[in-house]
Structure 1
Amino acid sequence: MCEANAYFIKDDKEELLMERVDRVVPQNGEIYLESIWGQRKTIAARIKELNLVDHRIILELAEEEKIN
């Protein structure tokens, strides 16, 4: 399995954003995520870390970002 869980940093803590992400597309200051179940989210964030061995995607949200 190649998918990973996506987390965002909030108040210096990691919070789960989406499980089993298999598609990550940076576009115009946002990150588009899609899971193996077809769940989709687009958030204003940047990739802080990809840890593929541990199947983790760490994102930093833009200031006052709302998650769709």
Structure 2
Amino acid sequence: MCEANAYLLKGDKEEKVFENVDRLQLHEGGLLLEDIFGRRLIINARIKELALVDHKIILEEIDSE
């Protein structure tokens, strides 16, 4: 399986927010994450890092202005 898990940075810690991410798209100032089962999450964040070997997407929150 080639899916990744998405983590949101909270200070210097990573909090898992979504598993088995298959698709990631820009969405109205944030991101739309979709998993292999078609479930979706819209999050007000930007990509900080992609660690593909580790199957990790590291996100950081952005201000909602």
Using the size of structure 1 for normalisation, the TM-score is 0.84
Q: Is residue 40 from structure 1 mapped to residue 43 from structure 2 by the alignment?
A: no
Aligned partner of 1:13 in structure 2 is 13
Specify the SS of the correspondent of 2:44.
strand
Q: Could you tell me how far apart the structure 1 residues matched to 2:21 and 2:30 are?
A: 16
Q: How many residues align?
A: 64
Aligned partner of 1:53 in structure 2 is 53
Q: Could you tell me how far apart the structure 2 residues matched to 1:63 and 1:16 are?
A: 20
- Runs of at least 4 residues off by over 2 Å: none
Shift of 1:12: 1.7
Q: Could you tell me how far apart the structure 1 residues matched to 2:36 and 2:6 are?
A: 13
Specify the SS of the correspondent of 1:2.
coil
* Identical aligned residues as a percent: 58
Using the size of structure 2 for normalisation, the TM-score is 0.88
